[in-house]
Amino acid sequence: MLNNILSKFGLEATNYHIQKFGGGLINGTWKVTDGEKSDQFILQQINKNVFKTPQDIADNISKIGAYLDLHHPEYLFVSPLATTDGSYIIEDNDEYYRLFPYVKNSITIDTVKSTQEAFEAAQQFARFTYLLADFSVDHLTYTFKGFHDLTTRYNQFRQAVKTADPERMLVAREAIEKANLYQDVALTYENIVKDKLIPFRVIHHDTKISNILFDESRNGLCVIDLDTVMPGYCISDIGDMMRTYLSPYNEEERDITKIVVREEIFKAIVEGYFSEMGTVITEMERNLFVYAGKFMIYMQALRFLTDYLNGDIYYHTTYPEHNLVRANNQFALLDSYHAAEGRFQQILDTIISNLPIKHNIA
């Protein structure tokens, strides 16, 4: 089946070795390599239950690619390759696929082990939004409606509580209590939207560390996984970095005593982000920088918990309590983040006050 897809890109499948690749929870990904390893690609199947209009993903990426080619030709933007008849996405047996070039000598990592990795990744994600600051977000389509809409996510959680299987409700008791305890995080989000406190920008919406390609010296090369690139708030990208870089162990860790935030990584995220976005970030966006972490950690905890209560219909799981373990992990992270918030604000304020004057505007 995958062979048929490769042929549409003009590749003779028998010359290539196809191997499962990466740890994404939504799409299927394979690495495609020829015998000499000189020709390598990433093949991806789009999860159509999640992305209802896959063509919109291709269209968004094409528009952004064209803009970057014109205004920032030096920027490494990894966009899908065209088939022999010029499409960037193909349908086969009612499934959608695309093929990317594999960036030579690049590596991905699953957890942040050094401040350099956090700085480089934050700089890469910030550079992406910064270079697109003058690109009108109205040109982009929402590839996933309500994706980071915390009000929607919170309502989905409340709905799941109403309809959940009683046994799952019981097992998830403590997580549900936590979700209720941190409700104010959702209220703050409602106000941000209602009062239009911050601008829409081109946002990546999945800034986990495995979505950065590094070189062997851990310099950031580029951002990948562009399915959720669409208009959004910077708190999504900033917050997802906090969610996925601050703890030495990721959302899969079952021993939640290991889930703690690291101050030096927070500092590196701030420095990396401001190194690119410092001149355009608004005062209100800066004021919401620390909130961003709570926003994304809380939303991800709710999403895992909601999926557990709904009977595991969204995220790929490998054992019965998987989504609940992930939710509890994220609530532990939220507790640790909450306890560190005051300190994080001080670190942020200090960095901002030391920025070169042109960064210290807005």
Q: 172 near 301, Cβ under 8 Å?
A: no
Cβ-based nearer residue to ligand GN1, 249 or 351: 249
Residue 199 phi/psi, 5° resolution? -80, 155
**Per-residue contact flags (x/-) with ligand GN1 for residues 198 to 217, judged by CB under 6 A:** --------x-----------
- Rounded to an integer, what distance in angstroms lies between the CA atom of residue 325 and that of residue 318? 12
Q: How far apart are the first and last CA of the chain?
A: 53
Q: Which stretch binds ligand GN1 (CB under 6 A): 21-29, 188-196, 216-224, 350-358?
A: 21-29
Binding residues for ligand GN1 restricted to 235-274, rule: CB under 6 A:
251
Q: Work out which of 13, 18, 26, 82 binds ligand GN1, going by CB under 6 A.
A: 26
Q: Under the criterion CB under 6 A, does residue 109 sit at the interface with ligand GN1?
A: no
Q: Work out which of 123, 156, 207, 300 binds ligand GN1, going by CB under 6 A.
A: 300
Strand partners, 34: 16
Cβ-based nearer residue to ligand GN1, 83 or 228: 228
Shortest spacing between CB 315 and ligand GN1, in angstroms: 7
Cβ-based nearer residue to ligand GN1, 251 or 276: 251
Q: Work out which of 56, 117, 206, 276 binds Mg ion, going by CB under 5 A.
A: 206
Q: Work out which of 56, 117, 225, 276 binds ligand GN1, going by CB under 6 A.
A: 225
Shortest spacing between CB 251 and ligand GN1, in angstroms: 6
Cβ-based nearer residue to ligand GN1, 50 or 355: 50
- Rounded to an integer, what distance in angstroms lies between the CA atom of residue 315 and that of residue 224? 20
Residue 25 interacting entry, from ligand GN1, Mg ion, none, C-beta within 5 to 8 Å by type:
ligand GN1
Cβ-based nearer residue to ligand GN1, 18 or 26: 26
Q: Under the criterion CB under 6 A, does residue 50 sit at the interface with ligand GN1?
A: yes
Count of residues that interact with ligand GN1, criterion CB under 6 A: 9
CB atoms inside a 10 Å sphere around CB 179: 24
Cβ-based nearer residue to ligand GN1, 56 or 271: 56
Cβ-based nearer residue to ligand GN1, 206 or 335: 206
Q: Work out which of 25, 107, 181, 361 binds ligand GN1, going by CB under 6 A.
A: 25
Q: Work out which of 56, 117, 225, 276 binds Mg ion, going by CB under 5 A.
A: 225
Q: Which stretch binds ligand GN1 (CB under 6 A): 24-32, 65-73, 130-138, 166-174?
A: 24-32
Q: Given the rule CB under 6 A, which residues bind ligand GN1? A: 24-26, 50, 206, 225, 228, 251, 300
